[in-house]
Structure 1
Amino acid sequence: MSFETVSTPAASPVPSHRSRIHGCLLGGALGDSLGYAVEFEAIGAIRAVFGPDGLRDFAELGGGCHFSDDTQMTLYTVDGLLEALEWANSGVAADTNACLWLAYLRWLGSQGVSLPDSAPFQPPRWIDSHEVLRHRRAPGNACLSGLSTGQMGTVYRPVNPESKDCGTVMRSAPFGLIPHIPADAVYKISADAASLTHGHPSARQSAGVFSLLIRSLVDGGGLHEAAGVALAQLQEGRLPKGEEPDPALVGRLTAALRLAPEAATAGLLGAEELVRQLGEGWAAEEALAVGLYAVLATAPETTAAAASPADHFRAAIGVAVNHSGDSDSTASIAGNILGAHYGERCLPADWLAALEAPELIRGMATRLVAVTGA
């Protein structure tokens, strides 16, 4: 399969790394929040409430909605990375995956789950002071059970060895936001962190590939180019030695990249066909494929429409939300991708006004900007 490299138009401003970090985290939270309102609803029920086009705007929810565990865990991913980078900047080497495990354990405690006796104690950090993170927002069972073992899961000693739900990929955008480390390190850090809760290769590989996609966008790659780089990571033998590409992940990503350009002539997939072709999003590879399709199929270069970044964001999130499946995870992934690509300029102002706890999300983004020198 060949991939078209789409360059940013000359007239479009190149977003700063700071803007991409803020855009990625805020964009993911916006998609998550709109999708969370209908996460467990079938498309028929969504249409019955919001009309034939489904849920398209926060105004239809009375002005706002809560974000889910997807945003909570994404922010705790940021915090784990922050701690590792803070140690590194002070001249002390730290185990990045251990920092992430400790951050996720603090998230587990915030969900009203008693930490196992074997879990190490860690003093609270700034993120832990926010009440909104102590609200239980339909956390994934594998995330809860994997962390509750008190064991630090690894690729070679995984917890939940058969689990491949989307609880890994939905939290993994921050790994792609760290500058100055090689792409293979981005993949490894992300995939290792996925192994803390999920043992199936698809869960691990989906997280790693998603992080690489974000990294490619942050480095200035176009949307189609970044998608091609992500798939090439699987198809061209770039995985760690001895690891084979997961067939389900390759199949779903290939389908998303094949179907997205067809929107220019055949129109967008309907919600039912979207699920038939790419899945409902409960599995890691399905969530990544649906989010990626939503972004690429609504891109101005695909539709030939003179859409603004904010118009593209609204359209992509609309596709990612409205189906019978894991609407918050698929939409959060789409929001992460577009925020990393465009920076903050793609985020609709009226949607930002409806977002829950923006000071927390911006606060974590600002801390990541500061510690990475972005």
Structure 2
Amino acid sequence: MNGTLTIEERFTGCLLGGAVGDALGAPVEFLSRRQILDRFGAKGISEYAPSYGGLGWITDDTQMTLFTAEGLLRSWVRSTIRGITHYPSIICHAYMRWLLTQGEKPAPEMRQLMADSIEQSSGWLFQQRALHDRRAPGNTCLSALRSVKGLGDIAKNDSKGCGGVMRVAPIGLFGHRAGHHQEVFELGCDAAAITHGHPTGQLPAGVLALMINLMAAGQTIRQALEVAKECLEARDDRDDTHRAIELAEKLAATDTPHHAAIAQLGQGWVAEEALAISIYCALVAKDFRHGVMLAVNHDGDSDSTGAITGNLLGVLHGAKAIPDEWLEPLELREVITELAKDLASFQRWDIGEYGGTDNDRVWEKYPGY
């Protein structure tokens, strides 16, 4: 069945799946597993509970994922119409727009640039008012972006928090036709490096981006993981990430109870743990619902592990695998779907340096800066 999925079905499944996992995990992000079971029963949380004032409302994880997708598309538009681009810089610019949606001010060196770019053309995503709401944004992401003095700067911190890996699934989707595994891996790392300076805050993002890339092309989770591990092997600073992935694979092959296996992998607050928990949940999942429920009902960063697991299972099974009762109330569902469709179709846009029928329309939606 999975082999018959269209690219659009996989892409919408990936982004909607991540948002669903994020929204399901949001109400229990700061609860222990025991507290979750006490509140929601023996199976844990299995349907949306109130969070941030609504049901099915997303967090900063999905917000930043959407701005990653937008940054990629705007960089493509710039490259195609202007003839030059630098993906990490344009992605960084997208994250700076997200920073503005959080009511934060950029560094003095960036304020005029941001004000001018918003006044000239903010783009379609920034105009979605529902994104202009704080949903427990990570301190590392906020502080790193407030400190940016030039687009594409690498974060000057030693953080390996999960805020880098949680947002990079669109990089895998964007590069699904590229065929250059190392380039997808490196761009995932580069995007995470904008806010997370520790290598282990970056490498899991490269692994996830490449896994999504390969699974969008029809590979299984295990096949995609093997290729991603080959790219990881080339890095001298791979040990933390490699050990976490190896443990996830080992536990998935045993009959260890799921809650105990996830506890061995950690709580997901740091990048390698969030990736390992998500890989484990995706490997042992009976279906989308089962995998995402495993990913959110544990001690730790439930919305981030829910989001990453949702990305993996969504690209594997497509949007139709997502339960209707999770999908229909999802905040910004239409916006997420539209972004996914644009990621699936952007190479067919009629735009170019010397004119194209779609130049004005596309530039207005995704200005090339």
TM-score of Structure 1 vs Structure 2, range by shorter chain: 0.7 to 0.9
In structure 2, the residue matched to 1:340 is: 315
TM-score (norm 1): 0.86
Letter in 2 for 1:103: A
TM-score (norm 2): 0.87
Distance 1:158 1:92 in 2: 25
Cα distance change on mapping 1:12 and 1:145 into 2, 3 Å: closer
The one of 27, 32, 42 aligned to 1:37: 27
Matches within 5 A, 1:210-289: 210-235=208-233, 237=234, 239=235, 244-262=236-254, 266=255, 268-270=257-259, 272-275=260-263, 277-289=264-276
Cα distance change on mapping 1:153 and 1:245 into 2, 3 Å: farther
Residue 365 of structure 1, CA deviation? 1.5
Moved more, 52-61 or 79-88: 52-61
In structure 2, the residue matched to 1:302 is: none
Describe the superposition over 1:154-192 as per-residue Cα deviations: whole angstroms up to 9, x where unpaired: 6xx732431000000000101100233211111121111
Matched length: 339
In structure 2, the residue matched to 1:79 is: 70
8 A Cα contact 1:73 1:107, kept in partner: yes
Moved more, 315-324 or 353-362: 353-362
Letter in 1 for 2:108: D
Describe the superposition over 1:226-249 as per-residue Cα deviations: whole angstroms up to 9, x where unpaired: 1222223223x2x4xxxx133211
In structure 2, the residue matched to 1:5 is: none
Distance 1:92 1:43 in 2: 51
Letter in 2 for 1:56: S
Distance 1:103 1:203 in 2: 19
Q: Structure 1 runs of 4+ off > 4 angstroms?
A: 59-63
Distance 1:82 1:296 in 2: 31
Residue 350 of structure 1, CA deviation? 1.8
Q: Secondary structure of the equivalent of 1:232? A: helix
In structure 2, the residue matched to 1:291 is: 278
Cα distance change on mapping 1:12 and 1:68 into 2, 3 Å: closer
For the aligned residue pairs, the C-alpha RMSD in angstroms reads 2.0
Describe the superposition over 1:319-341 as per-residue Cα deviations: whole angstroms up to 9, x where unpaired: 00001100000010000001111
Cα distance change on mapping 1:60 and 1:197 into 2, 3 Å: closer
The one of 164, 177, 180 aligned to 1:180: 177
Distance 2:91 2:189 in 1: 12
Residue 130 of structure 1, CA deviation? 1.1
Cα distance change on mapping 1:96 and 1:34 into 2, 3 Å: same
Residue 64 of structure 1, CA deviation? 2.6
Identity of aligned residues (%): 37
